[in-house]
Amino acid sequence: MGFSDLTGDGCLDMIFVHPDFQGLGIASRLLSRVEKEALNLGFTRIYTEASRTARPFFERRGFRVITRQTVEKRGQSLENFRMEKLYTE
């Protein structure tokens, strides 16, 4: 139904939920799990590159946009957003 990951430098590279199961809180649960793991590992921030459609999800979960960027994928220009969430004591 869904999956996510976290790289060694705190990048949440992927978070995907199957279209039939979106809007049920699955990504939120995946993100909570990733955040818990990140805190255990001592990370003070997580960052991601969110598509336009994923941006509202990350904003609701406390991420903020650092930069808006344009990336080339298979000859197409796509806009995405580098976003981060800081964990401070």
What residues make contact with ligand COA under the rule CB under 6 A? Answer: 14-17, 22-28, 48, 50-51, 53-54, 56-57, 60
Q: Which CB atom, from 82 or from 89, has the smaller least distance to ligand COA?
A: 82
* Rounded Cα distance, 18 and 87, in Å: 29
Minimum CB separation of residue 36 from ligand COA in Å reads 16
Cβ within 8 Å of residue 37, ≥6 positions away: 6
Separation in Å, CA 83 to CA 18, 23, 25, 56:
23, 21, 20, 11
Q: Supply the minimum distance, in Å, between the C-beta of residue 33 and ligand COA.
A: 12
For the bound state, the minimum distance from the C-beta of residue 58 to ligand COA, rounded and expressed in Å, comes to 8
